[in-house]
Structure 1
């Protein structure tokens, strides 16, 4: 089979589509024929060596690329009861130190990281859900805001930010969103009640609209201290990028949210997609051999939806 790997750190030139053996399925694991695999910022950081520099990923001879996958079950290991061959599924690998990632013809994932995909949802679209959707949902869970509270979401037009806006609005939160001015219509459609264009002095702009500041923030744009200034004293702040969390000034609770695979939570998100509560956004589906182009486009920014590789 084919798989995207790297053997050195650097630019897109280090991305390689290698021949590899189909991975063997173990106990409580599922072998998936991949129909779609999303390209995420963590893939760019892995390729560039940033995760290794941060002490999160040991340097290896071969490192697999890709976290998200959607596809069809081909085989199951011992003790797997919830899935069988032919099932349409999505899932996520939350491990960094792997020789094969999800950007491949086949991938083995833990059964408890998977959720079924109903026929009403396309597999290409579904592939955009696991990493981004779970990041937003788990960050919201950690903030534990009651309905009626105010949440600031930075990068609200992006993949994670968009899910955060929709999920927060569905929970009855008042959403304050910041993004490019041209994205105001989109972000309000996702559920934002208050919009602040990127480039404004965020703390001052938010406090003019929300006296005292927002109760909490999900910092999908990694603005750090600038976003924290828009949060009220004693509020909460979820940073989504390692090293981007600001100091907990004014008695705020600041934490870095680290994503984890969770098939049960993912199934809940699939149900929200079916109900129309959250929206799947794909910028483009591309063949696997265009992985370098996908990395370059993601690095340039400005995408409204994920790039998805189709093996």
Structure 2
């Protein structure tokens, strides 16, 4: 089978599509035929060597690329229940130190990292849910807010930020969204009650809308201290990348959220997609062979939705529109 790997760190030119043996599922694992795999910022950080420099990924001869997957179960290992060949699934590969990621024709995942794919959406759309949806949901869990409280979401027009806005609204939270001025209609459409342009001084602008400051912030745009200034004393702050957590001033509980695979939670997110409460956004679908172009495009910024690699696709396709599944 073909798989995207790197043998040396660097720019997109170091990405290689290599023929490797199809992996075999061990006990508690499933083999998935990949129909779609999303390209995320963590893939760029893996390829460039930034994760290794940060001490998160040991150097090795071959490193696989890709976290998200949507596809079909082809084979199950011993002890797997609830999944059978032919099932349409989504899943998350949450380990860094591996020779094969999800950007491949097949991938083996632990069965408890897999969930049924949401009905009524394409594989490309479904593949955008696991990493970004779980990141937003788990970070919200860590913030521990209750209905009626206020949440600041930076990068609200992005993949994680967009999910965070919708999930927060579903939990009864009031959302203050931060994004580019042109994205205000988008994030309000996702459910944000209040909006602040990212060029504003966040502390002052947010406190003008929410006297005393918000109860918590989910910092998807890595604004750090600027977003912390918008949080009231004794509040909470979730950082999503290594080194993104500011000092815990004014008794604010600051933590770095580290994503973990969770098939049960992913099933609940898929149900929200089916209910129309979560919007899946694909910027463009590309052949697996165009992985280097996808890395370059993501690095340029400005995408609204994720780039998705399709192993079975051999020509570029048009941009897909956001989809919300009716309830």
Q: TM-score, normalised by structure 2?
A: 0.95
The residue number in structure 1 matching 2:123 is: 123
Q: How does 1:55-134 map to 2 (within 5 A)?
A: 55-134=55-134
Shift of 1:122: 1.5
Shift of 1:282: 0.5
The residue number in structure 2 matching 1:49 is: 49
- After superposition, the CA RMSD in angstroms is 0.5
The residue number in structure 2 matching 1:196 is: 196
The residue number in structure 1 matching 2:159 is: 159
Q: TM-score, normalised by structure 1?
A: 0.99
Runs of 5+ unmatched residues, structure 1: none
Tell me how far apart the structure 1 counterparts of residues 300 and 203 of structure 2 sit (CA, whole Å): 27
Shift of 1:124: 1.0
Tell me how far apart the structure 1 counterparts of residues 198 and 247 of structure 2 sit (CA, whole Å): 22
1:144-177 deviation line (CA, Å, top 9, x unaligned): 1010000000000000000000000011100000
Tell me how far apart the structure 2 counterparts of residues 247 and 19 of structure 1 sit (CA, whole Å): 46
The residue number in structure 1 matching 2:322 is: none
1:21-61 deviation line (CA, Å, top 9, x unaligned): 00011000000000000000000000010110011111000
Tell me how far apart the structure 2 counterparts of residues 102 and 117 of structure 1 sit (CA, whole Å): 16
Shift of 1:120: 1.4
Shift of 1:121: 2.1
The residue number in structure 1 matching 2:300 is: 300
Tell me how far apart the structure 2 counterparts of residues 178 and 11 of structure 1 sit (CA, whole Å): 30
Tell me how far apart the structure 2 counterparts of residues 309 and 261 of structure 1 sit (CA, whole Å): 21
8 Å contact kept, 2:119–2:274: no
The residue number in structure 2 matching 1:169 is: 169
Deviation above 2 Å: which 4+ runs of structure 1?
none
Tell me how far apart the structure 1 counterparts of residues 107 and 65 of structure 2 sit (CA, whole Å): 11
Q: Residues 168 and 34 of structure 1: is their aligned pair in 2 closer, same or farther, counting only changes over 3 Å?
A: same
Q: How does 1:213-252 map to 2 (within 5 A)?
A: 213-252=213-252
Tell me how far apart the structure 2 counterparts of residues 252 and 297 of structure 1 sit (CA, whole Å): 36
Tell me how far apart the structure 2 counterparts of residues 119 and 265 of structure 1 sit (CA, whole Å): 16
The residue number in structure 1 matching 2:138 is: 138
Q: How does 1:247-266 map to 2 (within 5 A)?
A: 247-266=247-266
Size of the aligned set, in residue pairs, is 311
